[in-house]
Every structure is written in structure tokens, then in C-alpha cells.
Amino acid sequence: MNFILPNFIIPDALLLLFPFLVIGSRLFCSYRSPIPWRLANIGFIVIFVLLNFIPLTNNIGKFFICNWKIDDFGVLIREVLMLSAMLGMWLSKDYFEHGADGKPQMHQFAEFTGAIAFATFGGFTIVSACDMLTFFLGLEIATIPMYALTAWNKKDQMGSEAATKYIMMGSVATAFELFGFSYLYGFSGSIYFNEIRTAVEAGTSNPLLWVAILFLFCGIGFKLTLFPFYTWAPDVYEGAPTPVTAVLSVTSKTAAIAFLVVLVFGPLSPVQEQMAPFIALLAGTTLFVGNLGALKQTRLRRFMAYSSIAQAGYIMIALLGPIEMARTAIIYYLFIYAVSNYLAFFIFGIIGHHREETFNSLRGLSQQNPALAIALAISMFSLAGIPPLAGFFGKFHLFFAGATTGHYMLVGFAVLNNVIALYYYLQLIKSAWIDEPEDHLSPLRLTKRQRTIIIALSAAVVLLGVLPFLSNNIFGGFTF
């Protein structure tokens, strides 16, 4: 009997096989051969295109081998993850040709791309899981390659230190997750989500359930950089190579928030209202700490670490809303966040190839390269949530989801914190547009690929906010 894969599972199967193909190509080509680079480009683009051909089904899930679910939310999360993988690969290309920001040149591009692909597949697994075992494996597959990527530069001491801290704290987080799942299994007597949900409905006040929830949130708090589990992020963002920091900020965060969405609106949905005060506390403290921490930074990647922490707090607010509105707002914001964040990291990467990655290196950028200064302003204003850029509409829908269920104080607190965020984002724009350039700064040179990608990402940030029909496609066409 012939075994034929359904159309909706082909992107997942290709992504699983893709790393072996790229790494295996190294056996048949020279060290500096462009073949792995071309294979990686073709593979990621083909998978991303195939995902866009999967028809949305109003969240009626399709199943493969009983336990692998493909629904609308899963397809859209896959698209965010693949977008991050493609942009991360394009950003890393120059780092394999020469060093940057005092760090040595990177090596083993094929293996690097394979690690990104495996981390991306972990995200695919999270949104496809129907049981706790697959769910946990997906989270670990999405996380473990990040440990290796952080220390990819073997000659960089900061990278090794960052990876050591990352893996030690990540191991503790994994232990919390396992404790949470074990208590959840002890409470429900099953590893399957539908049976766990039934047990939760019948025993909402059982202490075992709430111990499980506490442990699970502690574990995922590390992955999502929630307060007080965020302390690893500034050091890891600073110590890792810039393209790894970019991938970590988008892929890891997308996988972690997908984990929470599946958990909160899946097996734990009967107690969502009871969990709301806890989620609101995590969201408020996280965005406040992230915004305060960013005020003191002078290093660009460390600055982006605290920005990422604050963004996690904003995203958490949507978890307080109704399931349809929350999922939609989170998906929309993740697309915007990915594009805006990568635009910033592409600019920082160009800076880092010629200068230190600090605020001072941006001085006089508007005079030296006006196009790059405009792109930086677009990125920062979008992350700050300034209209008419896409970031404003993304945050609006996150806040609206939280306000729908009556969390007005939290939404008001988040809006006030956004004023703080605007201040520190303006510090970068001030360095680029107002401060006088320093004489010792090296001139900036852009490759054709860098220029094309920066123009495309800048246009995407503007168009997602300016053209209403693009937003309507997400909020009107996709029904979760």
C-alpha cells in the first residue's frame, strides 16, 4: 500500500528533513561552497510558500496519525516561525564572511542553519501537540538548539559565558515544566489534552491542579522572559552573536507564547478566569521591569533584551481576553514584532560590521546614511507603538483583548508604561538624528542584499499599519 502524506503535513515533513539535507550537502562540496547557502534559501522559502497554501478552516483541526493537529492558529504560528528562520539566516550570512562588534568570524553555516531549522520545528511541534508528552518535547526541541547557537563562536568568551548561564537556567526551567506536567498528570490521570480539560472542569479547586499551573508558569516564564525569570536575557542577548540574538528574540518568544496560548485556551481553559489575576500580575510586572531596565542601557543588544522583556508583558495582556480575540491579536502582533525586530537587528548588524554596537555608534547616522536612519526610526516607532505604523495597531488589539474582559486598570498601566518605552526608543532616534557624529567612526557600507531586505522590512512595517485591508485580512478573514 502506498503511503501518501496529506498536503497540510508536507511543510512539517520538509522542515524535519531539511536540516539533514543542508548538513549532508557539506559532504559533497568544499568548505567555502555556496551550495549550503543556496539550499537553505530554497528550503526555507519553499516551506514558507507551502504554508501559505494551506487553507484555513475556521479552526477545525485536521489530524495526522491521530495526534498531530493542524489548525488555523498552528498554521499562522508556523508562518511567523518560518519568517523568523528566513530572516535569521539572511542576517547571519555576513557573519560567516567576517566578524563584527569585536567578535570573531562564524563558521559551519550548514550546521548553523540546521540548528535554526530544528528550533523552528520545535515551535511547529508545540502548536501541533494534543498530549503533554509531544507538547513538552516540542518546547525542548525549540530550546536546546538555542543553547548551541548562543555559543556558536567558540573563540568568543562572552558567548561561552552567556551559553553557560542560559543552559543552567534553562535546565532549572525544564525541571519546573516537568514538575508541572507530572502534577497535571497526577491530577487528571491522563496525558491527553481533551481528557485533562474534562478533569479540570470537574475539579477546578483541586490543589494539585494549581500546583501544576504554578510550576508550568514558572517554567515557561523563563522561555518568555517574564518577571522574575528574565535575568538571563540581557547577558545572553549581549553575549550571543547578533543573528543568534535576533533569532532568539523572535523564534523563542513565538514558541513560548504559542505554548501558553495552547495551554491557557486548551486543557486549562475552564480555569482561565481564575488564572486571570495571576496572568495580569505577570504581565504588569514584566512590562514595567522591562521598560525600566531599558532606560539605562548603552549597548544595542542589551537594550533589545529589555525591549523584548517589555514586549512579552504586552503580549501577556491578550491572554486575558476571549479566545478568538486573544489568538487573533497575538498572531497579528507576532508578525509585526518579527518584522520590526529584525529590521532593528539588520541595522545593528550593519553598525556592528564597522563599529561597536552601542548608542554612540549611531551618532550622526542621518547625515552619513539617511536611508538607514529612516529605517531605524520606523523600527523603533513601531516597537514603541506609534501610529500610523503597524506596532500601534498591534498593541491596540492586545490592549483591546484585555479590556474586553474588564481589565481596565492593567490596560491603563500598560498605556502609561508605553510612555516610558517611547522615551527610551527615542534615545536611539536622538543618537541617529540629532547627535553630532564622532570623527573616529568608520563609514558604513551596505551590500545589495542588506539594502533590499531593509527596504522590504521597512515597507512591511509601514504597510501593515497604513493599509487597512491588510489588517482586515487578519481580523476579518481568519476566524479562530
pLDDT in tens, the chain (480 residues): 344 556 778 888 888 888 888 888 877 776 677 788 888 888 888 888 888 887 766 665 566 666 788 888 888 899 999 999 999 988 888 888 776 666 777 878 888 888 999 999 999 999 988 888 889 999 999 999 999 888 888 777 787 888 888 888 888 899 999 999 999 998 888 888 888 999 988 878 888 899 999 999 988 888 888 988 888 888 888 888 888 999 998 999 999 999 999 999 989 988 888 999 999 999 999 999 998 888 888 888 888 999 999 999 999 999 998 888 888 889 989 999 999 999 999 998 888 887 788 888 888 888 888 888 899 999 999 988 888 888 888 898 899 998 988 889 999 999 998 888 888 888 888 888 887 777 666 777 777 888 899 999 999 888 877 764 444 434 444 443
- List, in order, residues 6 or more apart from 146 with CB less than 8 Å away: 119, 166, 244, 247, 248, 251, 252
pLDDT at position 110? 84
Q: How many CA atoms lie within 13 A of 103 on its CB side?
A: 31
In a domain, 314, yes or no: yes
Using CA atoms, how far apart are residues 129 and 23, in angstroms rounded to an integer? 27
Instruction: State the pTM of this model.
Output: 0.90
pLDDT at position 330? 92
In a domain, 308, yes or no: yes
pLDDT at position 60? 59
DSSP letter for 321, please: S
In a domain, 187, yes or no: no
- List, in order, residues 6 or more apart from 110 with CB less than 8 Å away: 22, 23, 25, 26, 36, 40
In a domain, 292, yes or no: yes
Task: List residues bridging with 79 in a β-sheet.
Answer: none
In a domain, 176, yes or no: no
Cα torsion angle, 27, 33, 38, 41, sign: positive
Residues 362 and 376: beta-carbon distance below 8 Å: yes
In a domain, 404, yes or no: yes
The DSSP string of 357-380 is SBGGGGTTHHHH-HHHHHHHHHHH
Q: Strand 62-64 vs strand 68-70: parallel, antiparallel, or unpaired?
A: antiparallel
pLDDT at position 280? 92
Domain with 288, as residue range(s), is 271-480
In a domain, 99, yes or no: no
Residues 173 and 222: beta-carbon distance below 8 Å: yes
Report the domain count for the chain.
Answer: 1
Q: Using alpha carbons, select from 300, 308, 292, 290 the residue that is nearest to residue 249.
A: 308
pLDDT at position 54? 78
In a domain, 480, yes or no: yes
